[in-house]
Amino acid sequence: MSRLKDKYTLITGGTGGIGLETARQFLAQGAKVAITGRSAEALRLAGDALGDEVLLIESDAGDIAGQRRVADTLAQHWPRLDVLFINAGDVTHRPLQDWDEATWDRLQDTNLKGPFFLIQALLPLLHDPSSVILCGSVSARIGLAQSSAYAASKAGLLSLARTLSGELIGRGIRVNGLSPGPTDTAALGKLGLPPEEEQALRDSIRQLVPLGRLGKPWELAQAAVFLASDESSFVVGTELLVDGGVGNI
């Protein structure tokens, strides 16, 4: 299939979960794909899974100076950028009393400040027309306990989908939000919980979803394909919820 034929696409946080699956689906639709990742080893494994044609860029999404290096690397390899999917994120959840300034700053740098300055750095490369997709979260819409800092960062990112749309639409750049609900990725396994506690957490999260199950990375990737493709050329400044009904039912 060729819904993204010859489109140059960048996916941040593309070494696992939604990002890796989106890279796989972009490739299947004919796109040229670059991914970023914080870990050299994770990038290598992602490259093995995706193939030699994928451009691998080691980058920490929270390193503001590093965003310019990402743009410089792309400019050395590609003539333009047609699609940017900002997917990298810090998913730290904890009670209000357990937050400290350093952890707060780290999360906001990764989820909001870094993406803002990455878009700025990529402006000279972004084509007319192009699509920028900001990965939000249904958490920005609901009052989920322990999600305060995370949800605030995602609310800010979704706000950028509207405000930057107004600012960049004259340059042919569409900006939209894509907000997952609870999705079955390896992120829960990185919390360091014993197996029985991790399963209990999964069960409690599943109960939030009216459809009664967690989302699949493939489902989010298909939504990203739509927003990246010309099929969504009349979609701008909005938020696409792919959340099993969490935000509306």
Tell which residue, 30, 28, 31, 35, has the closest CA to residue 11: 35
| Residue tagged 């870990």 (tokens) | 39
Strands 173-180 and 239-242: parallel
Query: How far, in Å, are 54, 104, 146, 247 from residue 139 at the CA level?
Result: 31, 17, 10, 8
Residue 153 is encoded by which pair of tokens? Answer: 């960062």
* Helix, strand, or coil (residue 1): coil
Beta-carbon count within 10 A of 226 CB: 17
In the chain, the amino acid numbered 135 is C
- CA atoms of 211 and 12, how far apart (whole Å): 29
Residue 130 is encoded by which pair of tokens? Answer: 């192009």
**What is the rounded radius of gyration, in angstroms, for the C-alpha atoms of the chain?**
17
Catalytic residue set? 150
Residue 68 is encoded by which pair of tokens? Answer: 């310019």
